[in-house]
Homo-oligomer: A and B are copies of this chain.
Amino acid sequence: MTDRRVFLQIPGPTNIPPRILQAMNRPLVNHRGPEFEALMKECLSGLKRVYKTESDVVIFPGSGSGGLEAAIVNTLSPGDKVLSVRHGVFSERFGDIAAAHGADVEKIEAEWGRAVDPAQVLDRLEKDAHGSIKAVLLSHNETSTCVINNVEAIGRGMAELKHPALLMVDAVSSLAMADLQTDAWNIDIVISASQKGLMLPPGLAILSFSEKAWEAYKTAKMARWFWDIKRMADAQKQGRVPYTIPTSLLFGLREALTMIEAEGLENVFTRHTRLARGVRAAAREMGLEVLPPEEEASPTVTGVKIPAGIEWTSLNAALLEKGVVMGGGLAKLQGRIFRLGHMGWIFETELTGILATLESSLAGLGYKVEAGSAVKGFKRSAVI
């Protein structure tokens, strides 16, 4: 079998830059020594700039789902009512985790493939005059349906309403790729992970935690030990940890933050926006249909409907043969869409190649498409 260049275009984990691989390729250090202390502090201050927050940012060993669990168990008590905004696998998971820990979950559902209407959320909160809703659980970018939510409208709206609920945002597949203003948008907890916009292998869950979240922590009664955020935050502010953390990933994280700052965070956002627009235009030029409407489409992953007569397994096999790894549809979208991730370390040159391979793979399966269409569509719209 040919060991060709692989393009990991699933919606995470993503392609790791050689610089980051290089930074992690080293012996460990004592996690109770001065080198670790400096490393931890650099990571935290860099993350705050990416999170656009002056609140605490805390790193756990784990995964994005672990971060969601940490957000919940550190701020809520069994029986607390939470509003779970749901329109895909991962936004549902956020609510399910809350339910598993005893929260009373009220669902706000949107169609899979659409963003949630901020008014729907705000209206519900407005009706909750006594503040019985303790938290709103929201995905910034719903990875399974390739949709981005208007978090700003919801966050600013909640502030206007003066509703006391905590706003918790799952930004696992958007952080460091789409603008997210933790403080300005009044978000209490933003959850992310290492293996998407931060261009690292999986292994870290990362959370911001506002003053209001710290207040909630004081009375939260859900059981916790591993995810206890106070123990972790107190230690990390001193450059320490209460239990071992994947040190190798911290070396990589420091490098990733350096790369992001060198490119410029806003430039990173613009790059993702433009590449995503190009991908959608390429899809349309090939006669394919993008799942979400243009204005709700994710800048980090694009969901495309699989044309009639083509099986995802055949398309996937054809793509893999050319070194391109995309994601299939999940749950009720299985077999109906494929997902092309353009997250993190991705640029125009390789993305046009990936699109050209998508085009010829479709053609190889009998789909009618003119050679060159994908690039033609991309170039017209990406304007990078």
Contact = CB atoms under 8 A, between A and B. Distances in A.
Interface residues of A, number: 97
A192 interface: no
Contact of A62 (B62, B224, B379, B380): B62
A373 interface: yes
B323 A225 contact: no
A64 interface: yes
A329 interface: no
A19 B25 CA distance: 9
Contacts of A2: 262-263, 267, 347
B63 A63 contact: no
Interface string A1-35: 11111111010111111110111111111111100
Given A61-B202, A249-B203, A375-B372, A66 B353 contact: no
B375 A244 contact: no
Contacts of A347: 2, 4-5, 322-323
A357 interface: yes
A280 B283 CA distance: 27
Interface stretch (A49-57, A96-104, A181-189): A96-104
Contacts of A17: 3, 5
A241 to B, nearest CB: 9
B379 A371 contact: yes
Contacts of A91: none
A145 interface: no
Contacts of A333: none
A228 B222 CA distance: 16
Contacts of A18: 26-27
Given A13-B244, A26-B18, A379-B356, A65 B226 contact: yes
